[in-house]
């Protein structure tokens, strides 16, 4: 049941990324009536709850996995805990970048975050984590992409590269022609396509084939960064996940020393890579890769990682709020929008670390945290 009280949220409402110099970007207050935002004081309201602080739209984790753990699909109870963990840190919009579990039931829960699903990962046979993906060969790629485009919420997720046991290193998984046909089919069906990519060699073929986004993108170089920028291909760096590369390399170097060395090099230049992408104008959004080997609830840490990489705080915030919501086609703090917002004790533009400790979380007009 929705709270009957009208919410009066007062302080500094950060409608957009700029300061008060840009009209409408910062407001002094908003109201929540029947679960929706209004900037007009409601007449006749008697039961009013006041909340004060610095206000942002609900945060976006644009790469996570609800319904998945290190071994594959999880039960509904575990999925619920994952979603609640994200909600409690203010991540109210999740782009689920691949999951074998059916989490549609979450859409009926007013107390759980909104999810935009990419269906199930699509990988080459024996070229990804066991129990995660449809594992197929190139001749079936178009058909599987079409099925996941219909199953998802406007996104499809490919595994672009992975360990090739024959070479002992990361390698591109697909023939160029198969990827071109698959992406064209997804676009025909109204879906965008993203791909897991660690290595350098997979990036140019995917971008030239028309891909919309690349996850991780640790292999960006001086040659491929201009290509991404020219075509407007977004990246979701998942820096909190890239931090695990040295541990992964240590665990696999005895069998695959070439791969381990490659992973360490990608990790060593991770901040430089992200900053170079930002400087080139590549769209960057926050994602944690939670749900595989990482815990949920890390979106605040990911924003801090973007700042550490050299992205200005306001742009790092936008990657998790205003810009990310626009990219995903979801409203922020606008008149009539669902009241999905987070309230903080201090200005997150001055110190993004406050994102990890919200004062209040409001979802669909209800105070849930």
- Name which of 18, 47, 27, 53 is nearest 362 in CA terms: 53
Mean per-residue pLDDT over the chain, rounded: 96
pLDDT-derived band at 292, boundaries 50, 70, 90? confident
Q: How much is the average pLDDT of 162-188?
A: 97
Q: Under a CB-based contact definition with an 8 Å cutoff, are residues 234 and 282 in contact?
A: yes
pLDDT in tens, 60-83: 999 999 999 999 999 999 999 999
pLDDT-derived band at 219, boundaries 50, 70, 90? very high
pLDDT in tens, 154-172: 999 999 999 999 999 999 9
Helices within the chain (DSSP H only): 76-88, 141-151, 176-188, 203-208, 225-231, 239-242, 245-252, 257-268, 270-279, 299-308, 313-318, 322-328
d(CA 106, CA 64): 15
Question: Residue 32 pairs with which residues in a beta bridge?
Answer: 7, 37
Q: How much is the average pLDDT of 273-287?
A: 98
Residue 259: phi and psi, rounded to 5, are -60, -45
Q: Determine the straight-line distance between the first and last CA of the chain, rounded to whole angstroms.
A: 16
CB atoms closer than 10 angstroms to residue 40: 9
Instruction: Please tell me the predicted confidence (pLDDT) of residue 209.
Output: 98
Q: 268 in helix, strand or coil?
A: helix
**Scanning the structure block, which residue is given the tokens 């995903």?**
328
- Listed in sequence order, the residues at least 6 apart from 115 whose beta carbon sits closer than 8 Å to its beta carbon are 66, 83, 94, 95, 96, 103, 106, 107, 153
pLDDT in tens, 333-367: 999 999 999 999 999 999 999 999 999 999 999 99
**DSSP state for residue 58 in the 8-state scheme:** P
pLDDT in tens, 79-125: 999 999 999 999 999 999 999 999 999 999 999 999 999 999 999 99
pLDDT of residue 20 exceeding 70: no
Residue 62: phi and psi, rounded to 5, are -85, 5
d(CA 147, CA 130): 21
pLDDT of residue 4 exceeding 70: no
pLDDT of residue 24 exceeding 70: no
Instruction: Please tell me the predicted confidence (pLDDT) of residue 5.
Output: 82
Look at strands 36-38 and 48-57 and give their pairing: unpaired
pLDDT-derived band at 293, boundaries 50, 70, 90? confident
pLDDT of residue 3 exceeding 80: no
Q: How much is the average pLDDT of 284-300?
A: 96
Instruction: Please tell me the predicted confidence (pLDDT) of residue 107.
Output: 96
Instruction: Please tell me the predicted confidence (pLDDT) of residue 162.
Output: 98
Q: How much is the average pLDDT of 206-233?
A: 98
Q: How much is the average pLDDT of 211-235?
A: 98
Instruction: Please tell me the predicted confidence (pLDDT) of residue 45.
Output: 80
Q: How much is the average pLDDT of 244-259?
A: 97
**Least confident among 33-47, 90-104, 313-327, 334-348:** 33-47
CB atoms closer than 10 angstroms to residue 150: 12
How many percent of the chain have pLDDT more than 70? 97
Q: 288 in helix, strand or coil?
A: coil
pTM of the model: 0.96
pLDDT of residue 23 exceeding 50: no
Look at strands 114-117 and 91-96 and give their pairing: parallel
- Name which of 227, 231, 176, 240 is nearest 202 in CA terms: 176
d(CA 297, CA 90): 8
d(CA 358, CA 360): 6
């Amino acid at each position: 049941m929705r709270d009957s009280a009208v919410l009066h949220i007062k302080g500094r409402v950060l409608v957009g990324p700029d300061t008060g110099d840009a009209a409408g970007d910062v407001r002094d207050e908003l109201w929540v009536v029947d679960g929706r935002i209004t900037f007009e004081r409601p007449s006749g309201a008697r039961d009013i709850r006041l909340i004060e602080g610095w206000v942002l739209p609900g945060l976006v984790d644009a790469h996570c996995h609800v319904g998945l753990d290190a071994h594959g699909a999880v039960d509904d109870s575990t999925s619920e805990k994952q979603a609640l963990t994200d909600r409690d840190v203010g991540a109210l919009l999740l782009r689920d970048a691949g999951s074998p579990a059916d989490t549609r039931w979450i859409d009926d829960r007013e107390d759980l975050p909104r999810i935009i699903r990419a269906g199930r990962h699509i990988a080459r046979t024996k070229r990804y984590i066991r129990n995660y993906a449809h594992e197929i060969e190139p001749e079936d790629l178009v058909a599987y992409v079409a099925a996941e485009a219909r199953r998802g919420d406007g996104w499809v997720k490919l595994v672009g590269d992975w360990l090739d046991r024959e070479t002992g290193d990361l390698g591109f998984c697909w023939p160029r022609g198969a990827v071109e046909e698959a992406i064209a089919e997804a676009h025909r069906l109204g879906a965008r396509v993203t791909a897991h990519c660690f290595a350098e060699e997979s990036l140019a073929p995917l971008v030239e084939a028309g891909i919309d986004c690349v996850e991780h993108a640790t292999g960006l170089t001086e040659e491929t960064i201009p290509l991404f920028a020219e075509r407007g291909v977004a990246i979701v760096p998942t820096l909190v996940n890239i931090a695990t590369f040295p541990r992964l390399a240590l665990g696999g170097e005895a069998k695959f020393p070439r791969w381990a060395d490659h992973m360490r090099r990608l990790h060593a230049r991770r901040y430089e890579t992200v900053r170079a992408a930002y400087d080139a104008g590549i769209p960057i959004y926050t994602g944690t890769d939670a749900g595989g080997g990482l815990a949920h609830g890390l979106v605040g840490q990911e924003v801090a990682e973007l700042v550490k990489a050299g992205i200005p705080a306001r742009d790092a915030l936008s990657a998790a709020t205003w810009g990310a919501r626009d990219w995903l086609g979801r409203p922020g703090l606008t008149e009539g929008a669902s009241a999905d917002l987070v309230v903080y004790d201090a200005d997150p533009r001055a110190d993004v670390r406050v994102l990890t400790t919200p004062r209040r979380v409001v979802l669909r007009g209800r105070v849930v945290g």
